[in-house]
Amino acid sequence: MSEIRSIGILGGGQLGRMLSVAASRLGLRCHIYEPGAAPAGDVAHALTTAPYDDEAALRAFAESVDVITYEFENVPTSALDLLESIRPIRPNRRALAVSQDRLTEKTFLNEIGLATAPFADVPSERDLATAVERIGAPSILKTRRMGYDGKGQVRITDPGQLEWTGAPSVLEGFVDFSAEISVIIARAADGQVAGFDPGLNVHEGGILRTTTVPCGLPGKVTTDAVLIAARIANALDYVGVMGVELFVTPAGLIVNEIAPRVHNSGHWTQAGCAVDQFEQHIRAVAGLPLGDGKRHADVVMENLIGDDMNRVPELLASPRTQIHLYGKGEARPGRKMGHVNRITS
C-alpha cells in the first residue's frame, strides 16, 4: 500500500467534493483549501478557508498533508511555488502551465504532432484585425487565461466585427465538426495508463449539458481518441486524471482543449464503471495501482443547471437514475448545481 494517507485539494467546489468522497472509500483523508464557499468542505476531513496569498495558511495546509492535487487550473503561481517547496503536487506544474494558457496549450499540442483549430496570438486589441485577416471569419476570440463554460469568449462573424475580450487572447478558426467527444485518461507515476470510453458531448450556451456513452462513433475513432489522450498524458509525464476534448471532423480528430483534472464529461463513470474518474485520480496521486476503467453500463449524464433543481423531486422518483447534488446555495442561471446519471442499458 501507498504511504500516503492525506491528500490536499486546492479548490472546494463540486469536483473537490466528489474527490473527497472517493478518497474516503479508500480510507484516505482530504484537506480542502478554498478562498471562498466550499461545498467540498461538507464531506472532507479538513477545510482551510484562506486566500491564495496567505503564506502562513498555505504552509500549514501543505504540512498537514502528504501530497497535493487540485480541482481547477487557475491557482496563482506564487501559491504553487510555496506549496511545492513543502509537498509534491500531482499532476505536475508543467501540466498546469500548459493548460492555464490557451496559447501555450495549442502550441504544445502542435509540437507533439496533434491537430488543433488554426489559431493566432492576439496579445492586445490593436493586434485583433491582423489576426482576423490571418485566421478569417467566422472565428472565436478567447482569453488566454481564466475562461470556462463559455466565459471570456467573443464570436467574430465577419471581419468588420472586432469586439475585444479585454485581455490577451487567442483567435481560433471555426472547425467543421460533426461531434464533440471527450476522453478521460488516467496515468500513474510508473507510466501505467488507463482510459475510459469516449463520451459524446452536447453543449448549450457554452455549458456542457449532456455526455452520452457509448458515443455511437466507429471503433477506429474511439480508439484513436484514447490514444491521443494517452499521448498527451505521456508527453506531460502526467500523474492523475485528465479530460481531453476533441472534435470529430472529416479530416480526423482535432484536440479542442485539455483539463488537467477530473472533468465534467467524466461524471458518467460514477454509474458506468466499477472505478470512476474520481477514485482513479485519487489512486494515481496517492501512488496506488490504477483501477479497471472498463464500462459496464450505457449512461447519459445530464448537468443540473440553475432552475433544473426544480426537477429534483421528479428525478428522485425516476428508475435507474443516480443523482449527485453539490450542496451549493442559490440556484442561479448557468450555475451547475448537480448532475444525474441515467443508466440506459
Residues annotated in the binding site for ATP, as ranges? 102, 142, 147-153, 172-175, 180, 203, 256-257
Residue 320 gets the label, from left (phi > 0), alpha (psi -120 to 50) or beta, of: left
What 3-state DSSP class applies to 243?
Answer: strand
DSSP 117: -
Query: Are the beta carbons of 274 and 307 closer than 8 angstroms?
Result: no
C-alpha to C-alpha distance for 23 and 45, rounded to whole angstroms: 10
Dihedral of CA 83/89/94/97: which sign? negative
Which of 146, 215, 220 has its CA nearest to residue 183?
Answer: 215
Which of 76, 82, 73 has its CA nearest to residue 55?
Answer: 82
* Binding site members: 102, 142, 147-153, 172-175, 180, 203, 256-257
C-alpha to C-alpha distance for 33 and 228, rounded to whole angstroms: 32
CB atoms within 10 A of CB 157: 11
Helix/strand/coil percentages in the chain, nearest 5: 30, 30, 40
DSSP 252: E
Name 195's bridge partners.
Answer: 185
Going by DSSP bridges, is the β-strand pair 207-213/199-204 parallel, antiparallel, or unpaired? antiparallel
